Chains A and B, each alone.
Chain A
Amino acid sequence: MSVQVKLPTILRKHAGGEPKVSAEGSTLRDVLDDLETRYPGITKNVRSDDGGLHRFINVYLNDEDVRYLGSLETEVGEGDTVSILPAVAGG
């Protein structure tokens, strides 16, 4: 499956300034792995040390928060769009 990944400004530097890039995979985990292979360092702030999704990073599949779908195991389809944003949180 080929999906489109929309990049927040700060991550675009890893991808030659592109706001949107393609990545391959059948799950979100595959897509992020593929993204990291293509653009080393790009998922550094997206995944936690144990390889899971970082608690304060929001990842969306077609505008839906993947935490409510299946997190990294969420299946992706051809032409889907993945978006990444830092969570805005505090106390």
Chain B
Amino acid sequence: MAELDGVFYKEIVEQGLREFPNEACGVIAAGPDGLPVHVFTATNIDMSSVTFRIDAEEQLRIEREIEERGWETWGYYHSHTHSEGYPSQTDRDRSRYVVAFYPDVRFLILSLEDRDAPVLRSFFLRDGEVTEEELTIT
């Protein structure tokens, strides 16, 4: 089970609504105790409502800051603006590389299918298998 502070949840939802109808994306960092401590909003260079890719140079800056602060990457998130919050085939295909580098990272998907009722879910994508974990917003 994973826990995410409501402040971070709000930040992700606000970004998702701001960038709607395009997909929004970013990185959540955790402190030494494994709990989320910071949300890095990132630029979707695809500027698309159906795909995303974090701007490469921005990603390097984020990863470096995480390392310098002694944090860890807790998860990568993105929004689905017109579908449920479940990994698409594109998510599964494109995440293979991230998973090869970071086998334990989680992927969070924010569904904005109903913008009045956003839904955030968390998954692990290993060997092409989707495993959902319970996510509690605290």
**Do chains A and B interact in one complex?**
yes
Q: Is the CB of A65 within 8 A of B56?
A: yes
Q: A57-B97, A86-B100 are in contact. Are A91 and B50 (CB under 8 A)?
A: yes
B-side interface size class: 20 to 34
Q: What separation, in Å, do the CA atoms of A27 and B89 have in the docked complex? A: 36
Any chain A CB within 8 A of the CB of B88? yes
Interface SS of A by simple majority: mixed
User: Number of contacting residues on A, CB 8 A?
Assistant: 22
- Establish whether residues A90 and B60, one from each chain, have CB atoms under 8 Å apart when the complex forms: no
**Which of chain A's residues 41-91 have a Cβ closer than 8 Å to chain B?**
45, 54, 56-58, 60, 63-65, 67, 83, 85-91
A88 touches B101 (CB 8 A): no
- Residue among A9, A10, A65, A91 making CB contact with B57, cutoff 8 Å: A65
Q: Is the CB of A87 within 8 A of B98?
A: yes
The yes or no answer to B76 lying at the interface (CB within 8 A) is yes
Give chain B residues whose Cβ lies under 8 Å from the Cβ of A17. Answer: none
- Tell whether, in the assembled complex, residue B101 and residue A10 are in contact, meaning their CB atoms are under 8 Å apart: yes
Indicate whether B51 reaches chain A with its CB closer than 8 angstroms: yes
A54 touches B60 (CB 8 A): no
User: Given A88-B25, A90-B90, list of 13 further CB < 8 A pairs?
Assistant: A10-B101, A10-B102, A58-B60, A64-B57, A67-B56, A87-B53, A87-B54, A87-B97, A88-B98, A90-B51, A91-B23, A91-B89, A91-B91
By a beta-carbon cutoff of 8 Å, the part of chain B in contact with chain A is 23, 25, 27, 42, 46, 50-54, 56-57, 59-61, 63, 76, 78, 87-91, 94-98, 100-103, 107
A residues near B (Cβ < 8 Å) are 8-11, 45, 54, 56-58, 60, 63-65, 67, 83, 85-91
